[in-house]
Amino acid sequence: MRCEVCGRKIREAPMRVVIEGAKLTVCPQCSKHGKVVWEEPKPAPTFQAPTFTGQSTATRRPIQIKKKVIITRVDTSQEIVEDYAEVIREAREKAGLSHEDLGKKINEKESVLRKIETGKMAPNDQLVAKLEHTLKVKLLVPVAEEKVPIPKAANREFTLGDAIKISKKARESKP
Range of the domain at 25: 1-42
57-110 confidence digits (pLDDT tens): 556 677 777 777 766 666 677 888 889 999 999 999 999 999 999 999 999 999
Structural domain count of the chain: 2
Asked, for residue 66, whether it belongs to a domain, the answer is no
Residue 162 scores a pLDDT above 90: no
- Domain with residue 126: its CATH number is 1.10.260.40
Asked, for residue 91, whether it belongs to a domain, the answer is yes
Residue 28 scores a pLDDT above 90: no
Residue 17 scores a pLDDT above 80: yes
Asked, for residue 98, whether it belongs to a domain, the answer is yes
Residue 153 scores a pLDDT above 60: no
pTM for this model (two decimals): 0.44
**Of residues 40 and 80, more confidently modeled:** 80
Query: What's the half-sphere exposure (Cβ side, CA atoms, 13 Å) at 79?
Result: 6
Asked, for residue 50, whether it belongs to a domain, the answer is no
